[in-house]
Chain A
Amino acid sequence: AQSVTQLGSHVSVSEGALVLLRCNYSSSVPPYLFWYVQYPNQGLQLLLKYTTGATLVKGINGFEAEFKKSETSFHLTKPSAHMSDAAEYFCAVTSPAAAGNKLTFGGGTRVLVKP
């Protein structure tokens, strides 16, 4: 079984400040890891993903995440927050063996950006 824990259901950052969203996973097999963003009343948009290869993954909108196997983590960062980054962010895990890319989601972190 796989699981995802996102530390902090709410994060408040100032515009221009670093955004750090924490994600830890549990998986008995090598994981595929994802970060999704959800804007109000919308579906999900993929920010970035890690499957294999380089452990530092760059995504859209200036976000990046680093897969650290020893820490079972996949934290999401952005050097400088923008007002448009206010949204809910979900970390998710699956594995190559999971049927049809079945995802397990973390609880989500809501980001508030202060001017």
Chain B
Amino acid sequence: GAVVSQHPSWVICKSGTSVKIECRSLDFQATTMFWYRQFPKQSLMLMATSNEGSKATYEQGVEKDKFLINHASLTLSTLTVTSAHPEDSSFYICSASGGPGEKLFFGSGTQLSVL
């Protein structure tokens, strides 16, 4: 079945640095990718919707300059957490689909810890 690869699975960084998380669809073309954030013991919060070749659509309250999303190809979307701070520590998950009505696949997630 289709697979979405998310990398890295775990990252620790210093406060003030930037971290890039990659989300790849391995055997299908993902016209749309989603980025979620999950705080401990809480549900998933949609951060943004990423469409190939266009600017991402951010949910209310999500800082677009803080969380940079790039969807440059049909198989790759990246989330960059810029100038990370401890409050950005969270579990980030991406998902991808081939289009409306197509099955949605999730990456395995990235645990970000900012010191």
Give the interface of A toward B (CB within 8 A).
36, 41-46, 90, 96, 98-108, 110
- Decide if B13 is an interface residue (CB 8 Å cutoff): no
Q: Which residue of B lies closest to A110 (CB)?
A: B41
In residues 1-59 of chain B, which contact A (Cβ within 8 Å)?
Answer: 6, 31-32, 34, 41-44, 46, 49, 51
* Residue from A46, A101, A103, A104 whose CB has the most chain B CB atoms within 10 Å: A101
Mask: chain B, 100-113; 1 = CB below 8 Å from A; 0 = not = 11111011110100
CB-CB under 8 A from A46, the residues of chain B are 103-104
CB-CB under 8 A from A41, the residues of chain B are 91, 109, 111
Query: Of A36, A45, A101, which one neighbours B97 at CB under 8 angstroms?
Result: A101
Known: A42-B108, A43-B93, A100-B97. A107 touches B49 (CB 8 A): no
Known: A90-B44, A106-B43. A100 touches B49 (CB 8 A): yes
B101 touches A42 (CB 8 A): no
**With the chains together, A46 CA to B104 CA distance in Å?**
9
Query: Of B34, B42, B93, B97, which one neighbours A107 at CB under 8 angstroms?
Result: B42
Query: Of B42, B100, B108, which one neighbours A101 at CB under 8 angstroms?
Result: B100
- Decide if B99 is an interface residue (CB 8 Å cutoff): yes
**With the chains together, A29 CA to B57 CA distance in Å?**
22
Measured CB to CB, the closest approach of chain B to A49, in angstroms, equals 9
A43 touches B109 (CB 8 A): yes
A43 touches B6 (CB 8 A): yes
**With the chains together, A104 CA to B34 CA distance in Å?**
12
Measured CB to CB, the closest approach of chain B to A105, in angstroms, equals 5
